[in-house]
Structure 1
Amino acid sequence: MKSLLKIISLIGLILSIVPPVLFFLGKAELNSMKLWMGIGMLAWMLTAPFWINRQQEEMRPETEENDQIQ
């Protein structure tokens, strides 16, 4: 599940970066650029919070326990 979320997040980032470049190069229209960037933004915002910083959260209780002991 986590790897699927990462893949969807990566696709969302790609959809947020590539359309403006294509628009700048004259290969995409403004409305299609806005549409694909909106889809990419939604994909990133809806999937990234579920996997980003998970490793830090898992390590956090150990770090807090070590800080309290010292």
Structure 2
Amino acid sequence: MDKIAKVISLITLGLVVFPCLLYFLGAIELDAVKWAALAGTIGWFISTPLWMSRKLPVDANQVEI
């Protein structure tokens, strides 16, 4: 699951970066950049926490002394 989430995260990050570069070069229009960046941002915020999450520390009520 982690590998799939990492790949999706990388692809969606590319959806944010590459259209901006293409717009800078004059290859695509601004509306296409906006839609690609929006889709990439939403996909990145959904996929990245799946593989980047950390283990939560143990609560004090779960520890027996």
Report how many residues are paired.
58
1:1-70 counterparts in 2 under 5 A?
1-54=1-54, 57=55
- Give the SS at the match of 2:52: coil
TM-score, normalised on structure 2?
0.79
2: CA distance, partners of 1:41 / 1:12: 7
Unaligned runs of 5+ in 2: 59-65
Q: Distance in 1 between matches of 2:52 and 2:2?
A: 10
* 1:42 CA drift (Å): 0.8
List structure 1 segments (4+ residues) > 6 angstroms apart after TM superposition. Answer: none
- Output the TM-score relative to the length of structure 1: 0.74
Structure 1 residue 16, shift from structure 2 partner:
0.7
Q: What do you get for the CA RMSD once the two structures are aligned?
A: 1.5
Identity within the alignment, % = 36
Q: Which runs of 5+ in 1 are unaligned?
A: 62-70
Give the distance between the partners of 2:20 and 2:39, measured in 1 at CA: 13
